[in-house]
Structure 1
């Protein structure tokens, strides 16, 4: 019999792909890179404006441009810096069974984000869909050509490698896990490239809802398995948010150990295709499909759709409101997709 509030949902994805060759050692100290997170609870919900990716209130019109950063998620790149201040994070497979993260920032501005890794087409296409500046560190020549021909505004760590202004190479980790974006320099450098750094965005759909109003099954923990790498979301009933883990290791900021906590987790299945002998992928972000939405300890079966390039949950053709706060989107192959979920007592 399934016990209420003590249900574990497990997504087992048996993926075949090329292994990642990154094997460098991890450093141990990043005290000077600690992040002072401005908790979302401190923002006045009765304010005149709202941030478009979080729904949180603000007294000033949020017209700063979204900045998206390609964040390394190799085991030797963890814990990362800056993720606790991301409005939204996409976690997607790259080669093999390793994911990378596209972290989008607008409502908060970290000092440092990283480590930063190389570009992939479906990541920079997502950045373009959200009208965000795309920041990455290098790419294969043909991918670099695709990016430059796409017209998407971008900044590459390969061009500013270790300049000490936009990017630094840190000694506590070895390449390719040691390239860090100095976030406060982004606007200056981007404007110097002729990019517009003021934008107006339509907000996503947000609402404050009681837990009893959310239609779904009660679950305390959900595990997403990317081959040998597992991502876990554990619901904190007291603070009404999800705490993220890689396996048994909690996802925190490197340096001050600020935890990554989330109000919304969307797990969406879509078509993945391996397109070359390096294991690179093509991933469908247009056709829509099945998804699970985790909010306040409940899991809802929904669909996902791309509306004006932005990924949103829908039910019966109508958008499902997000809770105000931060969102993590896990993208998984549709084979086996969500059918791999099982409830365990």
Structure 2
């Protein structure tokens, strides 16, 4: 298991890079996020950037589901720790771009990121889990009271700066990382790993052979290509392969393209862009990609406190292979 990251003097370099960051990518970074990790003890050795750190995950301790809001803009790639997530949700945010919500239950990486800010959609989405921890960089000011009142343990970089550190290989705001050991040290009493609501098992009958699926947003594009050798769907974002910091691919075992209502939200950024709200309560259609095939499905979530259920057109429980699941929220047709 990799040790906890320690401080480096490279935080000074990060400060110098701030001036060159594109303005639109700064919109949701917390104004007072720390730019260097805490000073190491005299015996500590320097810590490499997360891009050079190990990607090996360890079995999770009994503890909470950890939900981390992840930056997936081009400067934030490659990612760290996402291979250990049980589920990755893809949500539309301001200006047609997307963000990830990575949910960890069965495994935890030592470090995960880059981390970005919470959205209104996250609060409803996470109500289906029992007392989750939400790790995020910050939030729009008017949203913060709603986060405080939500049934979750909020651990932002604003309120828990010691849990986070800045990497040295990319500019602010795309270099904020979370130490998961520090989270669990703060929340040892939370629930044990949760049932995330996905039934595992062999593929249902039927399905249509499909080895590639593309999903487009106004300012983001995803492609999922089936690898018969890896038995995984290889993820591309904006025409480039999605990878981890060690060069290995982002490769879920299954992908759900879930049709939902995406409407104008109650909040926006400082430049006047509305943050759309993705309604994950209700019913609708979905397409499940697994084993090189596409399956028609239905989803249902009666209340925000319920897990999302997926069924076949005949009403049987939809099954998923073992491994990571991506849920991509798209507008209802």
In 1, are the aligned partners of 2:70 and 2:99 still within 8 Å (CA)?
A: yes
| 1:157-185 CA-partner distances (Å, limit 9, x unpaired) | 11233x3xx10022222222121101121
Question: Which one of the candidate residues 277, 280, 288 is aligned to 1:293?
Answer: 288
Per the alignment, in what secondary structure is the counterpart of residue 188 of structure 1? helix
User: 2 CA distance for matches of 1:208 and 1:318?
Assistant: 12
Contact 1:34 1:253 in 2 (8 A): no
Shift of 1:81: 0.9
Cα displacement (A) at 1:31 = 4.6
Match of 2:186 in 1: 189
Measure, in 2, the Cα distance between the counterparts of 1:252 and 1:303.
30
Are 1:22 and 2:30 an aligned pair?
Answer: no
Q: Distance in 1 between matches of 2:200 and 2:184?
A: 31
Deviations 1:1-34 (A, max 9, x none): xxxxxxxxxxxxxxxxxx981179xxxx745323
**Residue aligning to 2:261:** 271
Give the match for residue 192 of structure 2. 199
Which of 315, 318, 333 is the aligned partner of 1:317?
315
C-alpha spacing 1:87/1:202, structure 2 compared with 1 (3 Å):
closer
Structure 2 residue matching 1:291: 3-state secondary structure: strand
Partners of 1:63 and 1:130 in 2: how far apart?
Answer: 15
Is there any run of 5+ residues in structure 2 with no aligned partner, and where?
1-21, 28-48
Contact 2:199 2:317 in 1 (8 A): no
Aligned length: 283
CA distance in 2, matches of 1:188, 1:37: 18
Find the aligned partners of 1:99 and 1:20 in 2 and give their Cα distance. 17
Q: Which residue of 1 aligns with 2:326?
A: 328
1:70 is displaced (CA, Å) by 0.4
Q: Indicate the residue corresponding to 1:251 in structure 2.
A: 242
Shift of 1:102: 0.6
Which residue in 2 is equivalent to 1:170? 167
- Gaps (5+ residues) in structure 1? 1-18, 39-57, 338-345
Q: TM-score, normalized by length of structure 2?
A: 0.78
Deviation at 1:94, TM superposition (A): 0.9
1:208 to 197, 201, 209: 201
- The within-5 A match list for 1:1-345 is 21-22=24-25, 30-37=50-57, 63-131=62-130, 132-161=132-161, 163=162, 166-191=163-188, 196-199=189-192, 201-202=194-195, 204-209=197-202, 214-254=205-245, 256-275=246-265, 277-306=272-301, 308-315=305-312, 316-334=314-332, 337=333
Cα contact 2:202–2:319 (8 A) shared by 1: no
Query: Which of the pair has the greater relative contact order for Cα pairs under 8 Å at 6+ separation?
Result: 1
Contact 2:105/2:193 (CA < 8 Å) preserved in 1? no
Q: In angstroms, what is the RMSD of aligned CA positions?
A: 2.5
Check the 8 A contact 2:113/2:176 in 1, yes or no.
yes
**Deviations 1:101-139, CA, capped at 9 Å, x for gaps:** 110111111111111111112113222322221111111
